[in-house]
Amino acid sequence: KFPGLRTYVDPHTYEDPSQAVHEFAKELDSACISIDKVIGAGEFGEVCSGRLKLPSKKEISVAIKTLKVGYTEKQRRDFLSEASIMGQFEHPNIIRLEGVVTKSKPVMIVTEYMENGSLDTFLRKHDAQFTVIQLVGMLRGIASGMKYLSDMGYVHRDLAARNILINSNLVCKVSDFGLSRVLEDDPEAAYTTRVRKTLYNNVLYWMRTTQRIHLS
């Protein structure tokens, strides 16, 4: 484990879910955020690209998830729980949370921007254009991120190429924590071992399928 590695805390264990958000996510002033364009849609609303300019800091590109109009309190709680989860992680292969907007509308989750989007779409678009070394580098990044989550006592539960984002340097980062769950301390936790054993095979399968790699 990493020195000083924390243990994941399930935000659903908080009596007041907003307390988890305030504990693990930074509140951003919406005036510091500018939205450029819509790049996708999720379960709770739109996903946009934009910029974040905090006082005394350099402007950075970000991805912005917005909560749709007319949301219920449960939808708001579920939407922000992902931020409560992401805010606990700090690893080069886990998508970085920049902060949230909860005190004004629309409610937002702001993360780092990954220029090349999801891994599945990226590999299909650039079919057979990467070397085995490059692909193994992507694989190692994903495995490193997943091991970090496992070491924190956390299971993602929806590992798929569509939930891996890739930046301009071909660094892969695990994202989409909406279906994730904490590992319970019981005999069934042996599932973690099976996840670790199959992780490399699953990701390599993506690479082989989309890039037509034949290792012999």
Q: Say which CATH number the domain at 185 has.
A: 1.10.510.10
| Residue 69, both tokens | 């109009």
| Residue 197 is assigned to a ligand binding site | no
Evaluate whether residue 41 is within a structural domain: yes
Contact between 139 and 207 (Cβ < 8 Å): yes
What b/e readout covers 136-166, taking b as 16+ CB neighbours within 10 angstroms? eebbebbbebbbbbbbbbbbbeebebebbbb
- Same domain flag for 102 and 141: no
At 3-49, the pLDDT tens digits run 567 899 999 899 887 899 999 999 999 999 999 999 998 778 999 99
- Same domain flag for 43 and 61: yes
At 106-127, the pLDDT tens digits run 999 999 999 999 999 999 999 9
Which residues does the annotation mark as catalytic?
158
pTM for this one? 0.81
- Cα distances from 202 to residues 58, 110, 138, in angstroms, run 38, 29, 13
| Residue 131, both tokens | 């070397």
Evaluate whether residue 5 is within a structural domain: no
- Same domain flag for 19 and 80: yes
- Same domain flag for 86 and 126: no
Evaluate whether residue 6 is within a structural domain: no
- Cα distances from 157 to residues 175, 176, 177, 191, in angstroms, run 12, 10, 9, 11
108-122, 152-166, 177-191, range with the lowest pLDDT: 177-191
Domain ranges, residue 66? 11-112
- Same domain flag for 37 and 83: yes
| Residue 186, both tokens | 């019981």
136 has a pLDDT exceeding 50:
yes
